[in-house]
């Protein structure tokens, strides 16, 4: 069984990555976050600023980042990120 990271940890990754792509720190304080529910189960979370969008696909364990035109900028493997954090500890 794979344990998904806590939503607060994923949000930190999203904010950090949005900053790397030039998002304004003030704009991130009002980050729009939505849940995507399918048959009563949360399957994804989305995060949006005026210029950037990210989608956490919970079952797959990845976060994909997009620009305002829908071009994919980066994919983060959360399962690998969790492993690396545990090894560093």
Beta carbons within 8 Å of 89's beta carbon, 6+ residues apart = none
Q: What integer is the mean pLDDT of 59-68?
A: 95
Q: Write down the pLDDT at residue 85.
A: 56
User: d(Cα 45, Cα 14) in Å, to the nearest integer?
Assistant: 11
Q: Write down the pLDDT at residue 24.
A: 86
Give the SS3 label for residue 5. Answer: coil
Q: Which of 1-10, 60-69, 70-79 has the lowest mean pLDDT?
A: 1-10
**What does the pLDDT look like over 8-58, one tens digit per residue?**
999 999 999 999 999 988 878 888 999 999 999 999 999 999 899 999 999
User: d(Cα 45, Cα 26) in Å, to the nearest integer?
Assistant: 21
SS3 content of the chain, % helix, strand, coil (to 5): 35, 35, 30
Residues 17 and 74 sit within 8 Å (Cβ to Cβ): yes
Select the more confidently predicted residue: 8 or 89: 8
């Amino acid at each position: 069984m794979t344990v998904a990271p806590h939503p607060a940890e994923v949000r930190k990754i999203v904010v950090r990555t949005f900053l790397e792509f030039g998002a304004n720190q003030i704009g991130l304080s009002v980050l729009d976050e939505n849940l995507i529910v399918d048959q009563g189960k949360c399957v994804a979370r989305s995060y949006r600023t005026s210029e950037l969008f990210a989608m956490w696909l919970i079952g797959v364990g990845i976060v994909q980042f997009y620009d305002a035109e829908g071009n994919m900028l980066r994919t983060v493997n959360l399962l690998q990120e969790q492993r690396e954090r545990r090894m560093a500890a």
